[in-house]
Structures are given as structure tokens and as C-alpha cells.
Amino acid sequence: MGILEQVERLSGRPVHFKPDSSLSLRATMKMARDGAPAHVLQYRPSNEPIDYWVAVQAGYVLRLFELPPEERFDFAGTGRGLNQVQAMLETGTPLDDDDRNVLPKFAELVLHWALMNLRSFAVGMRIDQWIRASHPELATLQAAGVEALQQENLQLLSKRLGNLSIPVPLLGMSAATAMFADRLLGKGGFAIPFRAAGSLAQGAELLDLFDRIPSDAAHDRALVDAWADALGMTAWYTWVPYKS
């Protein structure tokens, strides 16, 4: 059975494709809710095959619907992380008046980025394990996709607004995915820049948690919670019962 057929069987809804050139991501899945007849997989048109990106998005849906209804949850920010992010941005960095003027907005962007990564990175690594084990026909596309994502993550190390940059304590998630990508693809270069950035030790801690927590979908929340605890992000989000 194909991956999308599994999604349709488990969720009881078909998957429709919708090209969207404005997407910042290569693909994203909007799940059917509130009586919607189908899930909508939006993708950024390109000349690249999208099979791997489709598999990743389908993986998130499959892991949700593998669970009984009472164990399905959505991830939602609480708004309580903003002050912590601002404090991180101010620590150890001399800020001029221009920096302080843009600090609140930059902190909001960093908070959104950190929460998005907390929710998606660890579970995304589980999905990549599943693709590698269960769909070897996607191995070449997966390698290209993982490498492209790692190149995007590396750009964060140079992302600045004046003297403001992503706080080192929050780069551990990207470092963990880099170490995972090196292991998955048998490479050794993705993680190197994170050593210079000072986040590799934290990445190793997160990867160790990833390895020690059972890999089934029933433990996805526990994995996210463990990463959040290690990063000091526990109060930044909550789990809300999923409603279809």
C-alpha cells in the first residue's frame, strides 16, 4: 500500500494536491477539519521530484492517526516564552538603540521559529527513520532532501538583525538534526559548524534523548516534552486535544 493510501485509510479522508509558489516550505499538509472533505497537501512547484517531501508530510499525519482518538493532540504556544527569548538575546551581546528597537519583533520571530522546530524536528527525525527503513525506493530523494534541509539550517548561524542573532541555547535542535543527518546518510560534515557555534554538546544531549525514548508514535509527545525540558521551553507550549 502506498504512503498516501495509508493516510487515506487511517484518516478516512483523501489527499488533494495544491501547488503554491508562495510557500516558504517545500510542502505542508493542511489536515481535513471542520467537515472539510480532504486533506490538502500544498507544495512549492519546482523541477525536483516531490515524492520525499510528500512522504514526510504524510508521515506526520500517519503518526497522528495511528493513535486512538483520545491520544491525539495538537501543539499550541502559550505566549509565555517571549520574555525568556528576549533575555537570551540580550545576554552577552552589546545592543545599540537600533537593536533595542527591533528586539521585540526579532524575539517574536525567534520564539515562533523555536516552537516550530521543537514540534517538528524530533518527530521529523522519527519520520526520516521510517522512510529509510520502510521505503528504500526513496533513499536517493531522501538524501537530497535531508542535505537541502541541513544547508538551510546552516544559514541560521549567520542570520542576524543588527547585533541580534539566534541564541546559542536554541541552536541545539538544529545541531541535533545535523548530527542525526550525518548518522542517517553516513556523512560527517553537517554537524561541524555547530561545534564552532557552541551548540554541539546540547545537540548531542537532545540526540541522546531521541535515541533513548521509544520510537513509536505513542511516545512523540514524550519526546517533544523531553527536548523542551532540556531546552528550558516547557512553559512555552501546551498540548490541546485534537479535533477533526
Q: How many CA atoms lie within 13 A of 240 on its CB side?
A: 8
- 90 pLDDT more than 90: no
Assess whether 109 and 18 both reside in one domain.
no
Assess whether 114 and 49 both reside in one domain.
no
Assess whether 82 and 195 both reside in one domain.
yes
- 1 pLDDT more than 70: no
The confidence score (pLDDT) of residue 91 equals: 84
Assess whether 37 and 144 both reside in one domain.
no
- 130 pLDDT more than 90: yes
The confidence score (pLDDT) of residue 237 equals: 98
CA–CA separation, 238 vs 74, rounded Å?
A: 8
* Number of C-beta neighbours around residue 240 at 10 A: 10
Assess whether 144 and 44 both reside in one domain.
no
CA–CA separation, 83 vs 235, rounded Å?
A: 12
Assess whether 102 and 176 both reside in one domain.
yes
Residues 6+ apart with CB under 8 A from 182: 188, 189, 190, 191
CA–CA separation, 170 vs 241, rounded Å?
A: 27
Residue 50 lies in domain: 3-66
The confidence score (pLDDT) of residue 161 equals: 76
Assess whether 81 and 16 both reside in one domain.
no
pLDDT tens sequence across 213-234: 999 999 999 999 999 999 999 9
